[in-house]
Amino acid sequence: MIEALASGTFTHEEIAALKRDFADAYRDAPVLITGADGFLGSHLTDALVELGADVHITVRPKAHRQLHHLEHQRGRLTLHWCDLTDRLAVDQAVRALTNAERPVYVFNFAAFSHVGYSWHLPQAVFNANVSATLNLLQSLVDHRIELACFDQVGTSEEYGNAHGLHHGDDLDEVVFTETSPLDPQSIYGTSKVAQDFLARNFHAAYGLPVIVVRMFNHFGPRQSLEFITGEIIRQASQSERIVLGDLRPRRDFTFFVDGIRAHLALAAHGKAGEVYTYGNGRSITMKDWAQLIIDLGEQAGHWSARTLLSDTDRFRPGDSEVLALRVDATKVRDAVGWEPTVTWEAGLRRTIDYVNNARIPH
């Protein structure tokens, strides 16, 4: 196993467990991963390469032609420089799968995924999330690619707020399942609902074996420091004061290792046409999440005591804040036996160590 896997991603023990659980399903299987050089996409790519899959990845073209997280895998996969909003480029990548000897697994991780930025770049978000997904689905149909599974990656942001929910309510009692109403509160969330329904449209119309997998918040090594966990670590590494937005909302966090296990299990054993949603099953306020990170970093000697502040200029616009997200993952557990295995504390320790030791620009 490439030594880079042991730093910032799966441990040797975790790779061994993945091989035990998934090697039979994915060994020699053709796989296409979009958004492969991002946070979760790169971890999934590492996992599938180690499982012996025939891995194809799409990555947005870059002037320097360097991969951000997957340079160590270049010789073990097929790389397609592909902007998914460019239909001709998508067709070129998909044509590489026309001679596959087995049905193809597609994991559609490509997305513009930052809620806050989606308010500033709404057209770019819809192009990157909706138009790109439509291009991919249509190309797979037009080229008659036989699929084992099309895993459309969804998000808890599709749910928005439970009906009638307000600050002051018991937010920890808010729980979402696959059948909960969708009420996105951001441009990003709305674009993901569109992806969700596009994929299911193609299942109904063309029989594509689609599953929609709505993920609750993830964290771990390789995640952009612009997301909440990395933002807290970055600020704690630089300053005695940590300034965030609204500290009251609650989120349900899952470490990346458990997220990748869920996607591998559901793509291999889930039922076509179904929606699945997973997460840790517990929620925590942003204030307590930040304090947990501060305490763990202090215990590890990365920083000393830190002061946590809230700045209203960092709040989401208007009434668009999603107050509480927590999942009931019973359907996933019953379907594939998935349970989260990495505690918040263990996952955060690994994430803090990675950010502070990997020479990531702050």
Q: With a cut of 50, say whether residue 294 has pLDDT above it.
A: yes
**Residue 360 — pLDDT band, cuts 50, 70, 90?**
low
Report the CATH number that the domain containing residue 121 is assigned in CATH: 3.40.50.720
Handedness of CA 81, 82, 83, 87 (dihedral sign): positive
Residue 349 lies in a domain: no
Residue 176 lies in a domain: yes
Residue 278: closest CA among 163, 178, 151, 172: 178
Residue 312 lies in a domain: no
Q: What pTM, to 2 d.p., does this model score?
A: 0.94
List residues bridging with 151 in a β-sheet.
107, 211
3-state secondary structure of 251: strand
Residue 272 lies in a domain: yes
Using alpha carbons only, how large is the chain's radius of gyration in Å?
20
Alpha helical stretches, state H, the chain: 12-26, 39-50, 87-95, 115-118, 122-126, 132-142, 187-206, 228-238, 256-269, 286-299, 330-336, 344-357
Residue 30 lies in a domain: yes
Q: With a cut of 90, say whether residue 101 has pLDDT above it.
A: yes
Q: Identify the H or E element spanning 152.
A: strand 147-155
Mean pLDDT of 110-122: 81
Q: With a cut of 50, say whether residue 4 has pLDDT above it.
A: no
**Residue 168 — pLDDT band, cuts 50, 70, 90?**
low
CA pair distance 126, 118, nearest whole angstrom: 9
Q: With a cut of 50, say whether residue 362 has pLDDT above it.
A: no
Mean pLDDT of 111-126: 82
Residue 133 lies in a domain: yes
Kindly state the tokens that stand for 294.
Answer: 């501060």
Give 72-89 pLDDT, tens digit per residue: 999 999 999 999 999 999
Cα–Cα–Cα angle for 230, 352, 42, nearest 5°? 65
Structural domain count, the chain: 1
Residue 228 lies in a domain: no
Q: What are phi and psi of 289, to 5 degrees?
A: -65, -45
List residues bridging with 284 in a β-sheet.
251
**Residue 320 — pLDDT band, cuts 50, 70, 90?**
confident
Mean pLDDT of 84-113: 96
CA pair distance 178, 5, nearest whole angstrom: 33
Q: With a cut of 60, say whether residue 6 has pLDDT above it.
A: no
Mean pLDDT of 265-281: 98
Q: Which range marks the domain in which residue 148 is found? A: 3-219+255-281+328-340
Q: 72 exposed, middle or buried (CB, 10 Å; 0-12, 13-18, 19+)?
A: middle
Q: 167 exposed, middle or buried (CB, 10 Å; 0-12, 13-18, 19+)?
A: exposed
Residue 90 lies in a domain: yes
